[in-house]
Amino acid sequence: MFAVVQVRGVVNTRADIKDTLKMLRLHHINHCVMVPDTPAYMGMIRKVKDYVAYGEVDEKAVATVLSTRGRLTGNLKLTDEYVRAHSSFSGIEEFAAALCRGEATMQDIPDLKPVLRLHPPRKGFRTIKRTFQQGGALGNYGEEINDLLYRMR
C-alpha cells in the first residue's frame, strides 16, 4: 500500500501529467490517496513523481491519518462506531491493518471519501523543487512517508 501526497501545484504543467493526477484523484495540494502496489499504479506514480511525495505506509500511520482526516459523505468524521456498524471490521485500527495487507480497500467502508485532505506539514517542507534524496520533498520517501503523514495529520 502506497500513500501519494500532492506537493506541487499544476500551473504550467503538461496535460498528460494533469490527467494522471486527476486519475489518481489528486486535485489539490496536500491531498493524499492510498493506492495498492500494482504495476498500473506504479506507472502512474512514476509519471507524476516530480509533483508528489509517495512511499510505503505502515498500519500505524494509516490508522492515525484515517482517524484524524478520514471523512464520510456530508463531511462527517470517520469513527470506530461507524466502522463497526457498517463493515466487518471492529475499528479503524483493524481496517487500517487490513488496508495495508491488501485485504481491504477504501470502498469497503460505505460513504468513506477516498481522498484525505491533509494539513500542510508541521515545520513545513524543506523545498518542493528537489527530490527527497536531494534534501527536498518530492519523489520516493520509502518508509519516511510515515513521518510526513504524521506531520500532516
Q: What is the DSSP string of 125-153?
A: -S-SSSBGGGTSSBEE-GGGHHHHHHHT-
Three-state SS for 79?
coil
Rounded distance, CA 19 to CA 15, Å?
A: 6
pLDDT tens sequence for the chain (153 residues): 999 999 999 999 999 999 999 999 999 999 999 999 999 999 999 999 999 999 999 999 999 999 999 999 999 999 999 999 999 999 999 999 999 999 999 999 999 999 999 999 999 998 999 999 999 999 999 999 999 999 998
Query: Does one domain contain both 48 and 71?
Result: no
pTM of the entire structure? 0.92
Q: Which domain holds residue 79?
A: 59-108
Query: Does one domain contain both 128 and 103?
Result: no
CATH code, 9: 3.30.1390.20
